[in-house]
A and B are shown apart, each in its own frame.
Chain A
Amino acid sequence: MNTLYIVLAVAVVFVLWLVGVFNLLVRSRNRVKESWSDIDVQLKRRYDLIPNLIETVKGYAEHERATLDAVIQARSKAMGAQTVGEHAQAENMLSGALKSLFALSENYPQLRAVESFTKLQDELSDTENKIQAARRFYNTNVLELNTKIEQFPTNLIASSFGFKKEEFFQTAEGEREPVKVSF
């Protein structure tokens, strides 16, 4: 009789622990999803700003077709990205294309004098900062989820309930290195 109670008690404790760990994993996974949607909001804002920018620049720098096309292409590629890795790659390309567009605008003083252009430039750089902020929040949450999935004994439960490690949102190689300034 007594052993039966002990076995029952152990079983109850085990089930409670199982439920706790399972819920912890669900919570972490939902945090990752939620923080991805934060990135998504900022990415959409950037996609919306770009057509206006292209229109404004076109009026002043018509023969810079190649640079403009690169931005348009990078934008549509970024909008079609599916996985986190694809997104990261496409967004880094888009950032690069925008950077060369703004560098080019230095050659057009008339363009730089247009108020709507400087405003768009300002908005885009703000969006870029916000994407970085959202990316850091996302990566923190991914790190937390992945650590839980790898740690013992949580990993046993994670693997049997099909919790998968998520991908980090990586920055471009170039962004990690300090900017070289040459005069």
Chain B
Amino acid sequence: MANLYSHKDSNIRKTWLLMTMFFVMVILLGWLFSSVWQSPEILYFAVGLSFVMNFFAYWYSDKVALAMSGAKPASRSSHLELFRIIENLSITAGLPVPRIYVIPGQQINAFATGRNPKHAAVAVTEGALAKLNKNELEGVMAHELSHIGNRDILISSVVVVLSGLIAILADWFLRMSFFGGRDNDNRGGAILLVVGLAAAILVPIAATMVRLAVSRKREFLADASGALLTRYPEGLASALEKIGREDTPLRHAHNATAHMYISNPFKGKESQNWFTRLFLTHPPVQDRIKILRNMNI
């Protein structure tokens, strides 16, 4: 049996791989643009900017996410059962107990945030507390704690910032090439400009797709490690079923935080064709339930 440590180790390796990939993309874009505009400052600026933004996103990820969702800290006396569920799961996972928040609103949803297990927080909606039974709530919380244990929060905040940065860079490049600048009337310059334009359009799309693919992979991973914690995949499966039947969107949902929730907070119509699947933050609920129900633990 794999324990949570091994998932954590592989995730830390993947984070590095992913970060290198994004850094290479950023530097490549920067290099391409700086050679088109013949100013190396753009490259230095791009690298510097990605470092600074990365650091801030990592350090303040929990505060920003909690503020954006409108979550309020929960007290132990009024949410005793929730506290006990989370305490027991934290012990099984070998994690410190995270801070616990409640999000106002009737939708069933939850998310985890924080740069490392010591600064982690989990938030759960009032709707989830009211509509889920103990086993289902346990399944959902185990999923969230697995995100913390697997260091998913780190990976997703890094990914969001870097893909955002790539989009910004590409945007600048497009604007600058439309509104002139230095003259590039030699042949080599023209080819570079075309390549640059193509890159400015394609790289951000590729970056978004990588980001979303990573987000979906990790939902599956968190489902699996969560089931390992509770030894009862059916709990999460039936919670997901309840979530799938609902259609109330979350009041404080926001594009930038959508990937953190246990299921997509917007509740858009989930279309099943391969192209729209490329742009989902979460795997379709039906697929997740199917995998959970086929799990052998």
Task: Check if A and B associate.
Answer: yes
Q: Does B294 contact A (CB under 8 A)?
A: no
Q: Does A165 contact B (CB under 8 A)?
A: no
Q: Does B94 contact A (CB under 8 A)?
A: yes
B residues near A134, Cβ cutoff 8 Å: 91-92
Q: How far is the CA of A141 from the CA of B1 in the complex (A)?
A: 11
Binary flags per residue of A104-131, CB closer than 8 Å to B gives 1, else 0: 0000000000000000000000100110
The answer to whether B3 touches A129, judged by C-beta atoms less than 8 angstroms apart, is no
Q: Closest CB of chain A to B232's CB: distance in Å?
A: 13
Q: Which stretch (B27-35, B81-89, B174-182, B215-223) binds chain A?
A: B81-89
Q: In the complex where A126-B84, A129-B84 touch, is A137 in contact with B5 (Cβ < 8 A)?
A: no
Interface of A is mostly: helix
A residues near B1, Cβ cutoff 8 Å: 140, 143
Q: Closest CB of chain B to A146's CB: distance in Å?
A: 12
The answer to whether B3 touches A140, judged by C-beta atoms less than 8 angstroms apart, is yes
The answer to whether A38 touches B91, judged by C-beta atoms less than 8 angstroms apart, is yes
Q: Does A77 contact B (CB under 8 A)?
A: no
B residues near A140, Cβ cutoff 8 Å: 1, 3
B residues near A132, Cβ cutoff 8 Å: 88
The answer to whether B87 touches A130, judged by C-beta atoms less than 8 angstroms apart, is yes
B residues near A133, Cβ cutoff 8 Å: 88-89, 91-92
Q: Tell me how many residue pairs across A and B have CB atoms closer than 8 Å.
A: 33
The answer to whether A136 touches B92, judged by C-beta atoms less than 8 angstroms apart, is yes
The answer to whether B84 touches A38, judged by C-beta atoms less than 8 angstroms apart, is no
Nearest neighbor of B84 in chain A, beta-carbon distance: A126
Q: How far is the CA of A129 from the CA of B89 in the complex (A)?
A: 10
Q: How far is the CA of A183 from the CA of B1 in the complex (A)?
A: 39
Q: In the complex where A31-B5, A144-B5 touch, is A38 in contact with B88 (Cβ < 8 A)?
A: no
Contact of A38 among B3, B5, B89, B94 (CB under 8 A): B94
A residues near B89, Cβ cutoff 8 Å: 133
Q: Closest CB of chain A to B16's CB: distance in Å?
A: 18
Binary flags per residue of A60-89, CB closer than 8 Å to B gives 1, else 0: 000000000000000000000000000000
The answer to whether A130 touches B94, judged by C-beta atoms less than 8 angstroms apart, is no
The answer to whether B94 touches A35, judged by C-beta atoms less than 8 angstroms apart, is yes
Nearest neighbor of A122 in chain B, beta-carbon distance: B80
Which of B70-110 touch A at CB < 8 Å? 84, 87-89, 91-94
B residues near A143, Cβ cutoff 8 Å: 1, 3
Q: How far is the CA of A31 from the CA of B9 in the complex (A)?
A: 14
Q: How far is the CA of A129 from the CA of B93 in the complex (A)?
A: 14
Nearest neighbor of A138 in chain B, beta-carbon distance: B94
Q: How far is the CA of A132 from the CA of B89 in the complex (A)?
A: 10
A residues near B91, Cβ cutoff 8 Å: 38, 42, 130, 133-134, 137
What 8 additional pairs, Cβ within 8 angstroms, besides A133-B89, A140-B3? Answer: A130-B88, A132-B88, A133-B88, A136-B92, A137-B92, A141-B3, A141-B94, A144-B5
Q: Which residues of B contact A (CB under 8 A)?
A: 1, 3, 5, 84, 87-89, 91-94
A-B contact pairs, 14 of them (CB 8 A): A31-B94, A35-B94, A38-B91, A38-B94, A42-B91, A126-B84, A129-B84, A133-B89, A133-B92, A136-B92, A137-B91, A137-B94, A140-B1, A143-B3
Which 5 interchain pairs have the tightest Cβ spacing?
A133-B91, A133-B92, A133-B88, A140-B3, A137-B94
